[in-house]
Structure 1
């Protein structure tokens, strides 16, 4: 039978209060009482979780972490408890989840455990993106996670996060960052036989970003896109034989000629053979808008 979380919480509060009662000379069991209180708060938190009361669980975990960190000098345990608080808060109170997870991340970085810190930094980024809808903070958090993974020689994990940075940055119209990350991942993957098959997709996305950036400076960005296409060919000599290369080349020509019908036909033909995902569809529509806008200005 599951224990009553509120009864456990009251018991924990009582144990914590008793540790601070009386004169310190006579209060010889203070450490034991505090450890017992932290354990009871943890038990209460887990009981709240069993009852699907995430916010109450998170608050109980925080009380346990406060004792572990500030009363009995167990910072490692406190960091782990803050992670559990994050898990409890995640759905019911994502802002609180972010706050406690940042405390755990700070501890892991101070300890030099950057692999673990990077994993939780990635979790924090996902929280910003999916639960809080704060895309700019999510981009920054993903980027920092990638830097930490890279610093710990976890290149594959770093690249995965950097691609997330690129996707979000592009959607936010932060095109230079998106291009930098797509091309950076492509360069680091070029010599890896297992990753080399993905190069065409990275090149396509970077090229589309070059073209989408043309909304603000169409001439310079068309030139940049052509130069980028040349550099991608130098990086991977098989790229010109791919449908992705043909799509990029065709849409660059369509934009050059201001031909939105040719652009649409090219994209349609590509989609028949390689289904376009939501990101590519969104970005290609932006590129098409640069043609329409130029026509309106003509």
Structure 2
């Protein structure tokens, strides 16, 4: 049967299950009827999915979830809501987010690791499909908190770093700095994580420059970061590069800032996030220089 025919069948089964009070020996119990309707709604949802009817597939999975709740099958309901999320995700991301939120509420009370994983998935949806970075930050930070509570520090750090990255992308580098620094400190004595300390602190340094807080930036570059990571010791390429950029910020010299970035980039690759933060900082220097003229 096709999805539409299965949906009609499921609706009839649901009507019979919810309106009848007497089922008799051959009719089965009310729960049996509801479970049959759930099964048929699920078949309809999968049939719709095979024909790329995302809205219909998601709605049928939601009906299966709704009926599962009515017979106190909360775990099944959460699983169906997760399937609805998958059905909606590409074409109807806000509907997908709504379903995932409901599923997470169940897992938060029964399976914290799964709740955290789904929260991370929700964050990725808001970031990549909805384009709502502010909401993505909220979801990443909550996912990180839950992973941490479940003693999954590597997974927690991944989420916190994503939140920090997005804070900087949305014009709030001052919120990124304590996240990068905290994770760097926590990684120093971890053999699996200590190799990332240099990158965390480099990102934090770029965010310091973006704030144009010269005093705090000097303290970080000259005291705090060298104490944690030898790559920031005086004379290293990173230390020289960052010191040169700080001088450009102090002197409000966007041309020299750009030249330093280009020279460094020829020898040491800079990913898109770093280039974006540097470009924002250069623009801020240009604006400040114009205000002085």
Are 2:104 and 2:119, in contact at CA under 8 Å, matched by a contact in 1? Answer: yes
Is 1:86 the equivalent of 2:71? no
Are 1:146 and 1:158, in contact at CA under 8 Å, matched by a contact in 2? Answer: yes
Is 1:296 the equivalent of 2:290? yes
Question: Cα 1:11–1:179, aligned 2, differ >3 Å: closer, same or farther?
Answer: same
Q: Distance in 2 between matches of 1:262 and 1:167?
A: 26
Runs of 4+ in 1 over 6 A off after TM superposition: none
Return the TM-score normalized by structure 1. 0.91
Q: Distance in 1 between matches of 2:285 and 2:30?
A: 74
When structure 1 is superposed on structure 2, of 56-65 and 125-134 the one drifting more is 125-134
Residues 172-200 of structure 1, C-alpha deviation per residue, up to 9 Å, x if partnerless?
11222211111122112121233222222
Residues 213-268 of structure 1, C-alpha deviation per residue, up to 9 Å, x if partnerless?
12xxxxxx011111111201111234326433322121112222333333222111
Return the TM-score normalized by structure 2. 0.93
Alignment of 1:37-48 (within 5 A): 37-48=37-48
| Two-structure CA RMSD over aligned residues (Å) | 1.7
Q: Counterpart of 2:21 in 1: which secondary structure?
A: coil
Are 1:200 and 1:245, in contact at CA under 8 Å, matched by a contact in 2? Answer: no
Aligned length: 288
Provide structure 2 residue ranges, at least 5 long, that are not aligned to the other structure: none
Q: Alpha-carbon deviation of 1:119?
A: 0.4
Partner of 1:160: 158
Is 1:235 the equivalent of 2:234? no
Q: Distance in 2 between matches of 1:42 and 1:49?
A: 10
**Residue of 228, 237, 255 corresponding to 2:249:** 255
Partner of 1:74: 73
Partner of 2:34: 34
Q: Distance in 2 between matches of 1:22 and 1:290?
A: 69
Q: Alpha-carbon deviation of 1:61?
A: 0.3
Are 1:207 and 1:248, in contact at CA under 8 Å, matched by a contact in 2? Answer: yes
Q: Distance in 1 between matches of 2:249 and 2:150?
A: 42
Q: Distance in 2 between matches of 1:47 and 1:246?
A: 61
Partner of 1:244: 238
Residues 104-142 of structure 1, C-alpha deviation per residue, up to 9 Å, x if partnerless?
00001122x111001000111111111111111111011
Are 2:231 and 2:239, in contact at CA under 8 Å, matched by a contact in 1? Answer: no
Q: Counterpart of 1:40 in 2: which secondary structure?
A: helix
Are 1:201 and 1:244, in contact at CA under 8 Å, matched by a contact in 2? Answer: no
Is 1:106 the equivalent of 2:99? no
Provide structure 1 residue ranges, at least 5 long, that are not aligned to the other structure: 215-220
